[in-house]
Amino acid sequence: MKRLSAILFLFSCLSLGCYAQSLDQAKKLYNEGNYEEAKPAFERLVKQSPNNSSYNLWYGVCCFETGDIETAEKHLLVANKRKVAESYSYLAKIYTQMYRFDEAAGMWEDYIALMEKKKENTEEFEKELARVEKMQRLLNNTEDVQVIDSIVVDKDHILSTYYLSEDCGILDTYAHFFGTSEQITTTVHINPKGDQAYYARPSGFDQFKLYSQSKLLNTWSDERPLFSTDDGSDNNYPFMLGDGVTLYFASKGNGSIGGYDLFVTRYNTNTDAYLAPEQMGMPFNSPANDYLMVIDETKGVGWFVSDRYQPEGKVCVYLFIPDESRKRIEQTDDEEWLRRRAALTSINETWVSGSNYAEDIRLARTDLSSTKQQIEKDFEFVINDQTIYHTWKEFRSSEAKSFYEKVVGLDKQIETLEKRLDETRESYAKGNASVHAQLKPTILNAEEELNKLYAERKNWTKKARNTENVYLKN
């Protein structure tokens, strides 16, 4: 019996020694950031002592850092009940990823209160609190956009998924456009005329600034910064809409909620400067990186890139139907459904019931420059800074449509009269004094009639634009 007791005692000591060694090794790996290696040891310890707050914290953090969010939340909540400080910040990060921003804000508030009691600097955590509060506001104003397709590609190959019509210009890589071997992660947008380029280039450590260049003959020159004031933001991936005024770009500044966010601004011709950037809403923006917003008005589709839910080096390119009115999702009691819409966890949930997007997807993937297909385009009528109509079916107001029909009719009259006037002027230039005397009244009458038609056209154009804008606002 004495020998048996001695053996059991020795085994117990060895077990305790192995346990201590395993815990020490796990903590060392944890402190070094080797969460994957530390995770099995903490998992064992949690099973042995399910209510141990430290074990639950360490195991929960390891799960979070290795992508097992649900398990992480379960064990961090155990630590949180015992007010383990670090559990608050990690739960806030988990709830941010889950789009439960109100709960994330609560965790940051509690964490800040604990740090203030310890006389710790809370500035960094207050910024995180402000960030998730902003995310909650964006969530409540999620846009009702139809995302009709998505494709996961290597980050370096995103341009292979953008098939732009000629009216959109060209997207190019920085290396190809500038003829450099440097691997710079940005793109260049060249306008449809091919005489203006918009791009970002490095400006300081891991930071980009936006510029434009003009093409004179065959030479690109006259580089100009797009923004006259430098607020220190990292701005990248510009795309200029066909109106030459509306600029989409990505920024890590300007109040970004995470990495690159998508923004839109407009050029003010009166001040020769761009207006204050406006942050795009959810689902376009997320806590991850979102960038390269491109809208093809001819095809009636748009693209943007996001690395949400993607492993390192991969991104998802989303295809959507642009909506100039940027309609918001109506208020709903189903918070989980709203979170899914904002996070784009399922693009099918964004589709309008009964709609078929097959033709839109096919057209989006068609290279029109090679197939020479023609897109329906009756005219180009600027409604406002955000909206340009090209077909009759785009009009929402029947009254505005009837007004613009008068404009189109006047255009035909003007075209006919201008052509006749040019011919008369040419005859006048070639004629003698007698011909001059004969044609002069005709020319003067035609010019007077043209001026009346110009004024009438301007009047009906204004009526059509104002009527349509009033209808859109209502």
Lowest pLDDT segment from 3-7, 128-132, 451-455, 460-464: 3-7
pLDDT of 4 higher than 60: no
Q: Are 142 and 328 in contact (CB under 8 A)?
A: yes
pLDDT computed for residue 421 by the predictor:
87
pLDDT computed for residue 2 by the predictor:
52
Across the chain, mean pLDDT equals: 89
CA distance 30 to 99: 27
pLDDT, greater one: 246 or 472: 246
Mean pLDDT over 275-300 rounds to 95
Q: What is the pLDDT of residues 291-304, one digit of tens each?
A: 999 999 999 999 99
Q: Tell whether the torsion through CA atoms of 65, 66, 67 and 70 is positive or negative.
A: negative
Residue 370 pLDDT grade (very low, low, confident, very high; cuts 50, 70, 90): low
Q: Helix, strand, coil: what percent of the chain each, to 5?
A: 50, 20, 30
Residue 95 pLDDT grade (very low, low, confident, very high; cuts 50, 70, 90): very high
pLDDT of 9 higher than 70: no
pLDDT computed for residue 112 by the predictor:
96
Q: What is the pLDDT of residues 315-329, one digit of tens each?
A: 999 999 998 888 999
Q: What is the pLDDT of residues 18-31, one digit of tens each?
A: 444 578 899 999 99
pLDDT of 430 higher than 80: yes
pLDDT, greater one: 367 or 60: 60
pLDDT computed for residue 161 by the predictor:
93
Report percent pLDDT > 70 for the chain. Answer: 93
Length of the chain: 474
pLDDT of 433 higher than 90: no
Tell me the pairing of strands 261-268 and 273-274. Answer: antiparallel
- Give me the helices (H) in 284-387, please: 335-343, 358-364, 368-371
Consecutive H or E run containing 44: helix 35-48
Mean pLDDT over 415-432 rounds to 87
pLDDT computed for residue 20 by the predictor:
43
Lowest pLDDT segment from 100-114, 422-436, 441-455: 422-436
Tell me the pairing of strands 381-384 and 278-279. Answer: unpaired
Q: Are 428 and 422 in contact (CB under 8 A)?
A: no
pLDDT of 375 higher than 60: no
CB burial readout 421-440, b (16+ within 10 A) else e: beeeeeeeeeeeeeeeeebe
pTM listed for this prediction:
0.72
Mean pLDDT over 351-357 rounds to 91
Mean pLDDT over 442-467 rounds to 92
Residue 3 pLDDT grade (very low, low, confident, very high; cuts 50, 70, 90): low
